C-alpha cells in the first residue's frame, strides 16, 4: 500500500481513453502526481489539462508500451519530471475477440504483447528502485474473463488469466519488501472501456461493472494493499468460484441461459 497517497508519483498507462481518464481523475483527487501514457497525444493532453486545472502535477508521455525503447523513454522522462515512481498502474490493454481460428498469428502476438508482456516488463523495470526505497505499489488490470474462460474470447481471457496469476504470485514474492502488488478484475464494464464498442448491455449472468467502481477500486487497492479486488455484481462472481469446483455445471448453465449465444452474437462477425 502507499500511505499517504497525497504527493505520491504514479505512472498510468492507457491514460487517454476508456477507464484511464476515470482512474486518473480519482488518483488526482487523492493528491497523486501523474504521468499519463498512451499512443494518442491529443487525447492525453486533453485528460491532463482537465486534471491540471485542479492544481495537480501531471505530465504527458506518449509511448507504445509494447516497444522497448518507448518503455525506457517513458520511465526515464517520468522520473526526470516527477521524481521516483511510487505507483505503476498497468491499465493499457485491448481485446480482439471472435473465432480463435480466424485470429492471425500477428493478432495473437499483439494481444499477448500488450496485455501481458508490456506490464511484466514495465514492472520489471520499476521494481529495483522500489525495492531499494522499500516503497512502491503495482496495480494490474485483470478481468473476470481471466477467471472463467469465455467462448469467442479465448485469447483475451488467456492474457488476463496470465495477468491475474502473475500478479498473485508476485504479490506473495514481495511480502515484507515494502512493495505491494494488486490486480483489479472487473467484469463487463458498462458505458465506457473496451466492451462499450459493442453497444450492448451485458447478459444478466455476466452482470455489469460500473466504470466509477473500477476507478475507485484502484485507489482502494493503493490505500489497503489488497492483493485482488473483483469489481462485479452478482451472479458472475460466485459463478467463477463454482467453476473451480464444478466446471461442467457452469458450462451447462452458461449454455442453458443463453450466455454462450449472447457472446457469439456479440463477438463473432457473420461470414
CATH number at residue 43: 3.40.50.720
In the prediction, which pLDDT does 209 show? 82
211 Cβ neighbours under 8 A, 6+ residues apart: 19, 22, 189, 190, 191, 192, 193
In a domain, 203, yes or no: yes
Q: At residue 189, does pLDDT exceed 90?
A: no
Residue 240 has a pLDDT of: 77
Q: What is the pLDDT of residues 194-222, one digit of tens each?
A: 556 667 777 877 778 889 999 999 999 99
Domain that holds residue 137: 9-267
- Whether 55 has a pLDDT exceeding 80, the answer reads no
What local confidence, expressed as pLDDT, does residue 188 receive?
Answer: 78
Instruction: Tell me what percent of the residues of the chain surpass a pLDDT of 70.
Output: 95
Most trustworthy range by pLDDT among 105-119, 139-153, 186-200:
105-119
Instruction: Give yes or no for residue 46 having a pLDDT over 80.
Output: yes
Q: Is residue 2 situated within a structural domain?
A: no
pLDDT digits (tens, 9 = 90+) for 221-267: 999 999 999 998 767 777 877 888 898 998 899 899 998 999 999 88
196/191 Cα distance (integer angstroms): 5
Q: What is the pLDDT of residue 195?
A: 59
- Chain segment 2-33, per-residue pLDDT in tens: 889 999 999 999 999 999 999 999 999 999 99
Q: 1 lies in a domain?
A: no
Is it the case that residue 181 has pLDDT exceeding 70? yes
Q: pLDDT band at 61, cuts 50/70/90?
A: very high
The closest alpha carbon to 235, from 211, 217, 213, 254, belongs to 254
Per-residue pLDDT, averaged over 50-69, amounts to: 90
Query: Based on the structure, what is the number of domains in the chain?
Result: 1
CB neighbour list of residue 212: distance below 8 Å, 6 or more residues apart: 22
How high is the pLDDT of residue 192?
Answer: 65
Q: What is the pLDDT of residue 124?
A: 98
Report pTM.
0.92
Residue 188: strand, helix, or coil: strand
> Is residue 4 in some structural domain?
no
**Percent of the chain at pLDDT exceeding 90:** 72
Residue 3 falls inside a structural domain: no
Active-site residues, by number, are: 156
129 within some domain: yes
Residues in contact with 69: Cβ distance below 8 Å, sequence separation at least 6, in sequence order: none
**Residue 120 falls inside a structural domain:** yes
Show the cell assigned to 232: 462485479
Distances (CA, A) of 86 to 5, 63, 123, 142: 10, 19, 12, 21
Residue 128 pLDDT greater than 90, yes or no:
yes
Amino acid at each position: 500500500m502507499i500511505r499517504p497517497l497525497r504527493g505520491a508519483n504514479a505512472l498510468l498507462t492507457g491514460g487517454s481513453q476508456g477507464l484511464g481518464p476515470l482512474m486518473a481523475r480519482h488518483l488526482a483527487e487523492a493528491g497523486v502526481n501523474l504521468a499519463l501514457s498512451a499512443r494518442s497525444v491529443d487525447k492525453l493532453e486533453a485528460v491532463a489539462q482537465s486534471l491540471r486545472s485542479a492544481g495537480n502535477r501531471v505530465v504527458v508521455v506518449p509511448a507504445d508500451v509494447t516497444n522497448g525503447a518507448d518503455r525506457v523513454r517513458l520511465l526515464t522522462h517520468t522520473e526526470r519530471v516527477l521524481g521516483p515512481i511510487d505507483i505503476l498502474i498497468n491499465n493499457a490493454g485491448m481485446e480482439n475477440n471472435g473465432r480463435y481460428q480466424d485470429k492471425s498469428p500477428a493478432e495473437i502476438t499483439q494481444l499477448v504483447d500488450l496485455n501481458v508482456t508490456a506490464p511484466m516488463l514495465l514492472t520489471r523495470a520499476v521494481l529495483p528502485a522500489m525495492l531499494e526505497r522499500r516503497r512502491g505499489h503495482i496495480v494490474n488490470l485483470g478481468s473476470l474473463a481471466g477467471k472463467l474462460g469465455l467462448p469467442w474470447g479465448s485469447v483475451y481471457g488467456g492474457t488476463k488469466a496470465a495477468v491475474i496469476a502473475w500478479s498473485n504470485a508476485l504479490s506473495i514474492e514481495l511480502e515484507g519488501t515494502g512493495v505491494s502488488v494488486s490486480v483489479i478484475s472487473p467484469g463487463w464494464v458498462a458505458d465506457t472501456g473496451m466492451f462499450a464498442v459493442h453497444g450492448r448491455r451485458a447478459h444478466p449472468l455476466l452482470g455489469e461493472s460500473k466504470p466509477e467502481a473500477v476507478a475507485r477500486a484502484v485507489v482502494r487497492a493503493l490505500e489497503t494493499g489488497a492483493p485482488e479486488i473483483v469489481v462485479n455484481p452478482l451472479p458472475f462472481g460466485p459463478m467463477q468460484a463454482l467453476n473451480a469446483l464444478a466446471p461442467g455445471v457452469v458450462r451447462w448453465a452458461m449454455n442453458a441461459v443463453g450466455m454462450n449465444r449472447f457472446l457469439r452474437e456479440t463477438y463473432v462477425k457473420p461470414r
